[in-house]
Amino acid sequence: MMETKLDPSIVSPAVQAMQNAAAVCNDVMGGTEVMRERLQYLPQEPMESDEAYSARVKRSVFFPAFKKAIATMVGRPFGEPVVLGEDVPPQIEPLAENIDQAGRDLDSFLRDAFRQTLVDGIGAILVDYTNTASLAAKLGKES
């Protein structure tokens, strides 16, 4: 039996299909300007002159129904601010003020993550943390 290597740089056909679908949805979220830039959504007709095509692209508008639907769906669960439960340890509470270390509070971070998940059809949050064992060993050596 042939051994297969797991290489994270190789994109499977299924993932490529999801990326292509997500790209369309992200373009739609960009509205009229993005849709005009992505000419594949408004192709030139075979007998259409370049001048006529350019004029048609410039006057074309895109109704933002998808963007409005996403905004409405995001507003449902996030109509009220996210509140930490009473069972959350006190050490965790300050993290909610700058949850991503980029200045966003927990409410904003979760709202943005949910919005992008709805647009892309899939979402994930990578949680990284310090290796506490090596940190403890280092702190023990310093004392």
Cα dihedral 112, 13, 66, 34 sign: positive
Q: For residue 50, give both structure tokens.
A: 């370049």
pTM attached to this predicted model: 0.74
The single residue listed with the structure tokens 């979760």 is 110
pLDDT digits (tens, 9 = 90+) for 48-93: 999 999 999 999 999 999 999 999 999 999 889 999 999 999 888 9
State both tokens at 31: 């509205």
**How many Å apart are CA 42 and CA 35, to the nearest integer?**
8
19-54, pLDDT tens digit by residue?
Answer: 999 999 999 999 999 999 998 999 999 999 999 999
